[in-house]
């Protein structure tokens, strides 16, 4: 099979989309030829049967119309060279190419994981022949075309244990606990609750020392303004804050997760967030306000608190510490790794994608 893949960015180092490079590597092993059209191209290292074509965003700003025209030029150049189409998280390309692919008899699979239901998604659903999503919370448009398949986490990439909690953090006394949070710096991530809980824990004389890490970056103008506000808020709480920009360090994420005891996830999106699953695949437990992890809660590898309730979050963290599950003999948490391997393994997802096109 010859497959056309359309995605936003091909860059193995990008903190937000670097994971898709691994998807392309694994897809390439299952097909005769892989053609990739992306909006933005960075550094990549893909097999010889992969051709990557960029619409040119990395060369500078261009209008949406110009990108659309370049997209059509790519489709014309690739005509007759591919059998089916896989579109990753960009419903607008399903709309742009939908009529052409329908007339030429192509299967069009859309991968989409976002709570937003807008006009673009409504139109893309009409042209897609199938839609894959990570969970029922990740796709909220009613349609018979959607199938829940779980996330695609390269478990072997995160599960190999090479670092211990506290790695890279010198000068902390024995018994220090290292919590972290990760992901895009935006209002929806609710870092205010995270910082408030850490400050609350610091008031207790019997609590251990908590040395926290914040890993992420703002993307939009609103995100940048939010980052400034949340930094000021942390300072007001008396916290020494350093937001670590992971804009070009996807390959460092296993080390980052393993260098901490657990992940705190305060996101208000309600979707199945990839960073939670990456932390679990790294053998770390998670504390989250999202209701999307009910099955993992039953497994005892995810703990919950009420959205926006920093006092409940602080109490939950303290209970976890006192339960003794953060000790070296309990980490990595093998149960967490096995959970991701069973429900969200990238190898399983790639097999389902290929099966859809070939069966």
pTM of this prediction exceeds 0.85:
yes
**pLDDT by residue, tens only, the chain of 359 residues:** 999 999 999 999 887 889 999 999 999 999 999 999 999 999 999 999 999 999 998 888 678 899 999 999 999 999 999 999 999 999 999 999 999 999 999 999 999 998 889 999 999 999 999 999 999 888 999 999 999 999 999 999 999 999 999 998 888 888 899 999 998 899 999 999 999 999 999 887 677 899 999 998 898 999 999 999 999 999 999 998 778 876 557 889 999 999 999 999 999 887 789 999 999 999 999 999 998 899 999 999 999 999 999 999 999 999 999 999 999 899 999 999 999 999 999 999 999 999 999 98
Q: 81 and 33, same structural domain?
A: yes
Q: Do residues 212 and 266 lie in contact, with contact meaning Cβ atoms separated by under 8 Å?
A: no
Spatial strand order in the sheet of 179-182? 243-244, 213-215, 179-182, 262-265, 285-288, 302-304
- Same domain flag for 292 and 349: no
> Residue 212 has what pLDDT?
93
Q: Is the domain of 51 the same as that of 177?
A: no
The reply to whether 211 and 194 lie within a common domain is yes
**C-alpha closest to that of 268 among 343, 184, 178:** 184
270 close to 137: Cβ distance less than 8 angstroms: yes
* The pLDDT of residue 247: 54
Total domains in the fold of the chain:
2
Q: Are residues 106 and 187 in the same domain?
A: no
Residues 48 and 167 placed together within one structural domain of the fold? no
Count CB atoms within 10 A of the CB of residue 346. 22
Report the CATH number at residue 329. Answer: 3.40.50.2000
Does 103 lie in the same domain as 18? yes
Q: Residue 88 is encoded by which pair of tokens?
A: 């990753």
The confidence score (pLDDT) of residue 248 equals 55
113/163 same-domain check: no
pLDDT at position 169 is 84
Contacts of residue 165, defined as CB under 8 A and 6 or more positions apart, other chains included, come to 178, 258, 259, 260, 261, 326, 331
The DSSP symbol for 102 reads H
Question: What's the domain range around 66?
Answer: 2-152+345-358
Q: Taking a C-beta distance cutoff of 8 angstroms, is the pair 262, 320 a contact?
A: yes
| 110, 138: one domain | yes
Distances in Å between the alpha carbon of 55 and those of 17, 27, 97, 227, 350? 17, 21, 15, 30, 25
For residue 296, which of 279, 312, 316, 311 has the smallest C-alpha distance?
Answer: 279
pLDDT of residue 172: 87
244 DSSP β-pair partners: 215
Report yes or no: 339 and 301 within 8 Å, Cβ to Cβ: yes
Q: Residue 257: CB partners within 8 Å, gap ≥ 6?
A: 158, 180, 182, 263, 278, 279, 282, 284
């Amino acid at each position: 099979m010859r497959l056309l893949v359309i995605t936003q960015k091909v860059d193995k180092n990008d903190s937000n989309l670097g994971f898709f490079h691994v998807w392309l590597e694994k897809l390439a092993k299952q097909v005769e030829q892989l053609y990739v059209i992306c909006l933005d191209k960075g550094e990549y290292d893909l097999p010889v049967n992969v051709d990557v074509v960029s619409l040119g965003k990395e060369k500078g700003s261009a209008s949406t119309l110009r990108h659309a025209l370049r997209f059509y030029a790519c489709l014309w150049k690739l005509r007759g060279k591919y059998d089916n189409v896989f579109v990753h998280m960009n419903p607008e390309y399903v709309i742009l190419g939908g009529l052409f692919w329908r007339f030429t008899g192509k299967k069009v699979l859309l991968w989409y994981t976002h709570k937003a239901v807008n006009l673009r998604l409504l139109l893309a659903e009409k042209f897609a022949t199938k839609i894959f999503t990570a969970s029922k919370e990740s796709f909220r448009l009613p349609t018979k075309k959607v199938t829940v398949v779980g996330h695609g986490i390269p478990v072997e990439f995160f599960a190999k244990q090479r670092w211990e909690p506290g790695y890279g953090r010198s000068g902390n006394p024995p018994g220090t606990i290292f919590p972290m949070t990760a992901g895009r710096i935006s209002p929806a991530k609710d870092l205010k609750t995270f910082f408030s809980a850490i400050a609350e824990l610091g008031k207790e004389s019997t609590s251990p020392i908590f040395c926290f890490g914040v890993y992420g970056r703002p993307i939009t103008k609103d995100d940048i303004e939010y980052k400034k506000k949340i930094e000021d808020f942390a300072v007001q709480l008396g916290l020494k804050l350093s937001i670590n920009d992971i804009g070009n360090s996807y390959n460092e994420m296993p080390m980052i997760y393993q260098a901490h005891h657990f992940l705190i996830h305060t996101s208000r999106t309600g979707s199945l967030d990839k960073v939670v699953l990456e932390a679990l695949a790294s053998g770390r437990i998670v504390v989250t306000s999202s209701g999307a992890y009910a099955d993992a809660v039953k497994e005892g590898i995810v703990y919950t608190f009420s959205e926006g309730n920093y006092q409940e979050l602080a109490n939950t963290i303290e209970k976890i510490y006192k339960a003794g599950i953060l000790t070296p003999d309990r980490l990595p948490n093998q149960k967490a790794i096995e959970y991701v391997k069973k429900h969200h393994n990238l190898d399983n997802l790639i097999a389902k994608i290929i099966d859809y096109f070939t069966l």
